[in-house]
Chains A and B, each alone.
Chain A
């Protein structure tokens, strides 16, 4: 295997909420321009893993993080501007949040933070991101409607469009298809396949088959630990796998 440079290196990452351990000493690399799938049952630490990558412990006084995370070789606890980190890392969480402003302003929010003021430029970004999130056709005639009053599925795609509007290096998706119908899910999956030529994607999913369809490599989390990480096809069919992984992907628990 060619040694691609890792976009993200995680070493001994431990996440706690109060005295409850949500993630225990996980180490793995995310390679540039790959889709890394993360699968595992509920409460296995998948979401906590994503939260740590964005330094979200700063929003939650209850959450503590130990270990090292290197993004583009930079230890993210040592960087001087955490906001720049978050601009380069787009996140989509399962509970969709449309901001209480127009659809247009929702998607233009991050570009404006980055200093883009020209309406024409913003128009292009808004249309591109909404199209990629499979939302453009539904909202193109009412871009001034409140984002917070869209339907759940639409808000979910709006959240994806917002994450894309940041022009991220790394896109973190946490069970994005929960509020979206199967057809739309397929469309977004196609977009993700195209996007991986430009950016690196970490996809947390409760749908084992979604990981199999999209991910280049897949990691299996169980009870706060990383059980194993391997090329996706190996993990699903290979012989090197842990018994617990086999049980999970074959649907014996979870």
Chain B
């Protein structure tokens, strides 16, 4: 029965319209392909970063690199003519000590600020604080490095009576101040994501505001808060200019916060300009880049999994 109708209708104008793809149809198709390419470009770029950094570092990795020396030696002497050594242990210690101190500074303050902004501050206060935090996050890292050199440095020398103020302490505090605003923002988002019904339910049972925060909101936002800390670690780990300028940039296994250290990122920034493409020194700096890429990739991936929850899809 419908089949009969179909043959009749095929010649009609409506049937023609329904089966004619006009300009709009083709434009829509073209745009959908175009924006798809835009979307996929993000993958292309992240793969591209890995490929191109590896491409420049590969000669070193398969050539003169000694993995054991690379990870366990504290001797970073890439410019030595007789016997260059490429141990990054001291550089890793530098990065770790600065990042660790930075987290010591940033975690309590950023979580505290996030809790205040999300749970206690109201109306105008909350908005102004959020704007301030956002502005803090915008200060360029080279300015922070400059602050470390010119403001923190003499302060530390004077206050602690030490010879050098460019140290783990200096870079750690600077880095903590840098990372805190971003961690605050992410942590506040995590707190805000806890449904109000949780808070209301707890308040209905007679809990006070701070009891609600500690017993209900914080446990519920745990994974988001952990992710904010992880992303802070990732940021500290990857920060370049500020650490280069404020850490003293001396190869050292630090034993106190007043020791100068050198970070992985800063090493690349400081030395890459003096190397010739194809040399071992050039290759080892790109190898450091591969290492940094892989570690931050893992940190970001972990943060993403923590936020989304492992079993949930």
- Residues of A whose CB lies within 8 Å of any CB of B are 5-6, 9, 11, 68, 70-75, 79-81, 83-85, 88, 113, 169
Q: In the assembly, what is the distance between CA of A169 and CA of B6, in Å?
A: 17
User: Are A80 and B8 neighbours in the complex by a CB distance under 8 Å?
Assistant: no
Residues of A within 8 A of B10 (CB): 73
User: Are B9 and A73 neighbours in the complex by a CB distance under 8 Å?
Assistant: yes
User: Are B12 and A72 neighbours in the complex by a CB distance under 8 Å?
Assistant: yes
Nearest CB in chain A: distance from B100 CB, A: 45
User: Are A72 and B22 neighbours in the complex by a CB distance under 8 Å?
Assistant: no
User: Are A83 and B25 neighbours in the complex by a CB distance under 8 Å?
Assistant: yes
Given contacts A9-B2, A73-B5, contact A84 B12 (CB under 8 A): no
Q: Which of chain B's residues has its CB closest to A81's CB?
A: B21
Residues of A within 8 A of B6 (CB): 70, 73-75
Residues of A within 8 A of B24 (CB): 83, 113
- Residues of B whose CB lies within 8 Å of any CB of A are 1-2, 5-10, 12, 14-15, 17-22, 24-25
User: Are B15 and A74 neighbours in the complex by a CB distance under 8 Å?
Assistant: yes
Given contacts A72-B15, A74-B9, A88-B14, contact A11 B2 (CB under 8 A): yes
User: Are B5 and A70 neighbours in the complex by a CB distance under 8 Å?
Assistant: yes
Shortest 3 CB-CB distances between A and B: which pairs? A73-B9, A73-B5, A79-B18
Residues of B within 8 A of A71 (CB): 18
Residues of B within 8 A of A80 (CB): 18-21
Residues of B within 8 A of A83 (CB): 24-25
Given contacts A72-B14, A73-B15, A74-B15, contact A9 B5 (CB under 8 A): yes
Q: Which of chain A's residues has its CB closest to B15's CB?
A: A74
Nearest CB in chain A: distance from B18 CB, A: 4
User: Are B2 and A81 neighbours in the complex by a CB distance under 8 Å?
Assistant: no
Q: Which one of A9, A68, A81, A169 contacts B19 once the chains associate, using CB atoms below 8 Å?
A: A81
Nearest CB in chain A: distance from B1 CB, A: 8
Residues of A within 8 A of B1 (CB): 9
Q: Which one of B2, B7, B9, B20 contacts A84 once the chains associate, using CB atoms below 8 Å?
A: B20
User: Are A81 and B14 neighbours in the complex by a CB distance under 8 Å?
Assistant: no
Residues of B within 8 A of A9 (CB): 1-2, 5
Contacts A70-B5, A73-B5, A169-B14 known; list 7 others, CB within 8 Å: A5-B5, A68-B2, A73-B9, A73-B10, A73-B15, A74-B18, A81-B25
Given contacts A9-B2, A88-B14, A113-B24, contact A73 B19 (CB under 8 A): no
Residues of B within 8 A of A74 (CB): 6, 9, 14-15, 18-19
Nearest CB in chain B: distance from A80 CB, A: 5
Q: Which of chain A's residues has its CB closest to B22's CB?
A: A81
Q: In this complex, which of A9, A84, A85 has the most chain B Cβ atoms within 10 angstroms of its Cβ?
A: A84
Residues of A within 8 A of B5 (CB): 5-6, 9, 70, 73
Q: In this complex, which of A6, A73, A75, A113 has the most chain B Cβ atoms within 10 angstroms of its Cβ?
A: A73
- 17 examples of A-B residue contacts, CB within 8 angstroms: A5-B5, A11-B2, A68-B2, A70-B2, A73-B9, A73-B15, A74-B14, A74-B18, A79-B18, A80-B20, A80-B21, A81-B17, A81-B18, A81-B19, A81-B21, A81-B22, A88-B17
